[in-house]
Structure 1
Amino acid sequence: MVNLNELPRRRYTNGPTPLEHLEHLSTQLGGPQIWIKRDDLLGLTQGGNKTRKLEFLIADALAHGADTLVTAGGVQSNHCRLALSAARREGLDCHLVLEEDLGSDGAPVPADAGGNPPKLTGNFLLFDLLGADSTEVHTNGSDLVARANELAAELKTQGKKPYVIPVGGSNVTGALGYVDCAQELLTQFAEVGLDVSSILAPSGSAGMQAGLIAGLHRADSQIPVVGINVSRTQEDQEPKIVNLVDEVASFLELPPVPRERSLGLGDYFGTGYALPTPEMVEAVRLFASTEGILLDPVYTGKAAAGLIDLIRQDRFGDDDNVVFIHSGGVPGLYARAGAFA
């Protein structure tokens, strides 16, 4: 079995993130007991789950002698924000390949003549403040991965040493951050004597969920990790989860992970990725009004909507302890304020 402590890693967070009991929300919903893992409080600019992935990805980039990062995502990408923040921390260049946003009606929000979205807000504002070395905004549906690799090749001809990070940081190297988080969670559960029935997490590029599943499997824990899909049906998402879980398990030299551990529920993403739903709006308002915790509309808002619906379906017992992973992303809330009007 591979020892994570022997792999290259940067550290961007001082100690474990808090595990908090949401007493008021639990009472409001009539059980189960809801706990929240505050990965919105991870290090780097405004925090979020990608920080754990980047601790391993940036270390790998540095080990390969990189002086430049190239990565891709939407104009409100939390991953791009944190990759850029890590680049600033490490003294690396960083180039972003972005996809134009969709409005609440599902139609693309066109870029202006300079290739910028109409509003400099949310994460896109932070790209500007953090000083991205370049940002390209492409039409929705473009092949961002191909363009990121093409840009890396162009940078090589200029004498740079680029390292391409995949969308969401969700490859085996990135997922190791959540293999480590699984052990962090188990330690916290033991410290407070918590018998956890389920962990719920947003499931998008699947690196966080796959890492948690593999990490719990590595520790011989049977706690299920239920993914709430933010962009795909269950039929489309679960193969992505399974494939990455298998790759991570193989890398760590673990026994095969049972297929049924990879669950991604596809009933809550609505009409598409980043497009608001009434249930998301209710969930964001409920967490804020009962616990003073902000969720984001793309990931945690929809995952929380799934959690609330599962509770209302009596999928959990009143005395069950359910842990919700707050993956961050709050800057995106301000770019999508119209959903809450």
Structure 2
Amino acid sequence: MNSASLPTLDLSAFPRSVLLEGPTPIQHLPRLSAHLGGADIYVKRDDLTGLGGGGNKLRKLEFLIGEALAGGADTIITVGARQSNHARLTAAAAARVGLACELVLTRTVPRFDHDYIENGNVVLDALFGAHVHDLPGSANALQFAEDRANELRAQGRNVYVCPLGGSSPAGCLGYADCAAELVAQSHAQGLSFDRIVVPNGSGGMHAGLVAGFIAMGLDPLRIAAFTVLANASHAHAVTLDKANQTVRLIDPDLRVDRDAISIDDAQLGPGYGIPTDGMRAAVRLMASKEGLLLDPVYTGKAFAGVVDNVSAGKYPAEQKILFLMSGGMPGLFAYRNEF
């Protein structure tokens, strides 16, 4: 494929606030690949987005903050679990562009130790100047956020409410854009990946990548996800719906078929944010072989799936696997006792 025929994606019609410094690198992991003895493993370093401690949510926030500013917002409110990476990066992005920020954080994960409640992302939320609402796990965070937004609107504020994980159709455009970035980088480096593996939480990253591939006329079946939030059936339904909403933003005539979404829940364990032996082993393996830090909630579990699939021969030696490192490193400090 020559550069003239390289698929591209034009998202210039959508409001955007630039928060990334440019494409994130693709890196080969030779020592880890040799240790596992199967597929050749590469990583897409979306943990290296510089703002706010880095992480994949900044891609979504470029379009979400863009939409908020285009609508004249002076305040952004979002929701998440106590150690939400999305909440941290929303607070950082808001600080960067001058928006007031409120975070509605629920104690969804059944962890009550001091590190989880007060360390990790929570420390950074405060440093970025966000006002945090601390709610019990049973609370309806989005309803609370909408009610709070209406209170502020009654005071004359212009409030933008951002959903869980930033995974609205506008937010998912960030990963449609990442799909185009991946295509260009792979071509420039002479690489062709047999599989692209991602964590699936709120589903926006996975949905956006699939939508981007389809919008460029490429096969999305190479994208596989390990769910860290819900069982495979529920995650599939949510991701398929978001992928369809996103691709129709790009081109109303396009659609995503059910078989374009591949999700495995083998690494979910007891539930979201609850550690597993596989996660701990994957975090230690990546750190000790390549000096890279996975997080305990998303990439740790998803990479445990990569390790298992290599060990089982599902990703054999002749294949090249790209793992998307979505960030979340501050969460390691909230899970200190697990290591």
TM-score, with structure 1 as normaliser: 0.93
| Partner in structure 2 of residue 235 of structure 1 | 233
Residue 203 of structure 1 corresponds to 200
Counterpart of 1:128, as a letter, is: A
* Partners of 1:233 and 1:267 within 8 A in 2: no
Instruction: Select which of 177, 184, 188 maps to 1:187.
Output: 184
Whole-angstrom CA distance in 1 between matches of 2:308 and 2:259? 21
Residue in 2 that maps onto 1:331: 330
Q: In the TM superposition, what is the alpha-carbon distance from 1:316 to its structure 2 partner?
A: 1.7
Separation in 2, partners of 1:34, 1:110:
35
Counterparts of residues 14-163 of structure 1 (less than 5 Å): 14-100=21-107, 102=109, 107-109=110-112, 119-132=117-130, 134-163=131-160
Q: C-alpha offsets along residues 272-324 of structure 1, whole Å, 9 cap, x if unaligned?
A: 10000000000000000000000000000000011111111211221111000
Counterpart amino acid of residue 142 in structure 1: A
Which residue is equivalent to 1:214? 211
**Counterpart amino acid of 2:295?**
D
Say whether residues 1:287 and 2:286 are aligned partners. Answer: yes
Q: What's the offset of the Cα at 1:220?
A: 2.1
C-alpha change, 1:245 and 1:119, in structure 2 (3 Å) is: closer
Unpaired segments ≥5 residues, structure 2? 1-7
1:336 deviation in Å? 0.5
| Of 45-54 and 5-14, the range deviating more from structure 2 | 5-14
AA in 1 matched with 2:76: L
Q: CA RMSD in A?
A: 1.6
Report the alpha carbon displacement of residue 118 of structure 1 after superposing the two structures with TM. 7.6
Alignment length (residue pairs): 330
Contact 1:65 1:161 in 2 (8 A): yes
1:152-179 per-residue CA deviation (whole Å, 9 max, x = no partner) reads: 0011111111000001000100000000
Does the 8 Å contact 2:9/2:216 carry over to 1? no
Segments of structure 1 that go 5 or more residues without pairing to the other structure are: 112-116
Q: Secondary structure at the match of 1:25?
A: helix
Structure-2-length-normalised TM-score: 0.94
Cα deviation 1:215-256 (Å, max 9, x = unaligned): 111222225210110011111110001100111111111522
Does the CA-based 8 Å contact 1:101-1:109 persist in structure 2?
Answer: no
2:98, 2:141 → 1: CA distance? Answer: 25
Task: List structure 1 segments (4+ residues) > 4 angstroms apart after TM superposition.
Answer: none
Distance 1:336 1:138 in 2: 20
Work out whether residues 201 and 303 of structure 1, in 8 Å CA contact, stay in contact via their aligned partners in 2: yes
1:251 corresponds to which letter in structure 2? L
- The amino acid of 1:109's aligned partner reads F
Shift of 1:258: 2.3
Take 1:101 and 1:252, find their aligned partners in 2: how far apart are those partners? Answer: 34
Q: 3-state SS of the aligned residue for 1:4?
A: coil
Alpha-carbon separation, structure 1, partners of 2:299 and 2:314: 19
